[in-house]
Amino acid sequence: MTRKQRRLSVIAGLGLVLALAVGLILFALRDQIVFFYSPTEIHEKAVAAGTAVRLGGLVKQGTWKKSGDQNDFVVTDGTTDMVAHYTGILPDLFREGQGVVVEGAVATDGSFAATNVLAKHDEKYMPKEVVDELKAKGEWQRGEAGG
């Protein structure tokens, strides 16, 4: 094999793998990414039931009900409320009136079936998405998350 042929074969191989990888990445980006919505956006955009999304907002005061390992609570952005159901242990810093990000999907009855609940890691931390969302809605109070 001459030097030129060798180089060509290497470049062809490189190109093939790269094309494959780019195709995969594009395919995955279209189907495997998860959008972040507030309850209002879920309502307005009429997100289809079963689509994986992240829901962010505040846990509404006085709505957290716990029976056994079943948890029901309302996520609110001040405009729209959305009931969420979660089976399992909630994070340490899950509190009423605090920010929360819930992963899951909208159920057929219009409530939110959560597969994972993320709360603040510490007193100072609040998911950035929630802060932005609340600031946009004018619900943001500095004392609430401290930073």
Partner 1 sequence: MGIELGHFALILATAIATVSSLAGFWGWRQSDRVALLLRQGAVLQFILVAAAFAALIQAFVTSDFSLALAYEHSHSQQPLLFKITSVWGNHEGSMVLWVMILVLMGAAVALFGRNLPRQLLTLVLTIQSLLAAAFGGFTLFTSNPFLRLTPAPLEGQELNPILQDIGLAIHPPLLYTGYVGFSICFSFAVAALISGRIDAAWARWVRPWALLSWCFLTLGIAMGSYWAYYELGWGGWWFWDPVENASFMPWLAGTALLHSALVMEKRNALKIWTIFLAIITFSLSLLGTFMVRSGVLTSVHSFATDPTRGLVILALLALFIGGAFALFALRASALRVGGLFAPISREGALILNNLFLSTATVAVLVGTLYPLLLEATTGKTISVGAPFFALTFGAVMAPLLIVLPFGPFMAWKRGDLVAVTQRLAWVAGLTVFVTILIFALSGGSISLAPLGLLLGVWVALGAIAELIDRAGIGRMPLRTSWNRLVGLPRSAFSTALAHFGLGVSVIGIVTASAWQLELITTMQPGTTKTIGEYTVRFDGIKDVQVENYVAEVGDFTVASGGHERQLTPERRVYTASGTPTTEAAIETYGFSQLYLQLGEQSADGSRTVRLWFKPYVTLIWLGAIIMALAGGLSLSDRRLRVGVARRVATAKPAPAE
Residues that bind partner 1 (CB under 8 A): 1, 3, 6, 9-10, 13-14, 17-18, 20-21, 24-25, 27-29, 32-36, 54, 66-69, 87-90, 92-93, 121-123, 125, 127-129, 132, 147
The amino acid present at 35, given as its one-letter code, is F
Residue 28 or 49: which CB sits closer to partner 1? Answer: 28
Residue 61 or 122: which CB sits closer to partner 1? Answer: 122
Least distance in angstroms from the C-beta of 60 to partner 1: 19
Measured torsion, CA atoms of residues 96, 81, 144, 61, in degrees rounded to the nearest 10? -30
Least distance in angstroms from the C-beta of 66 to partner 1: 6
Least distance in angstroms from the C-beta of 79 to partner 1: 18
Residue 3 or 141: which CB sits closer to partner 1? Answer: 3
Let me know: does 71 contact 111? Beta carbons within 8 Å: no
* Integer CA distances (angstroms), 101 to 54, 67, 71, 122, in order: 7, 21, 15, 14
Residue 61 or 123: which CB sits closer to partner 1? Answer: 123
Least distance in angstroms from the C-beta of 35 to partner 1: 5
- Which residues 6+ apart lie within 8 Å of 48 measured at CB? 106
Let me know: does 88 contact 69? Beta carbons within 8 Å: yes
DSSP structure class, residue 111: S
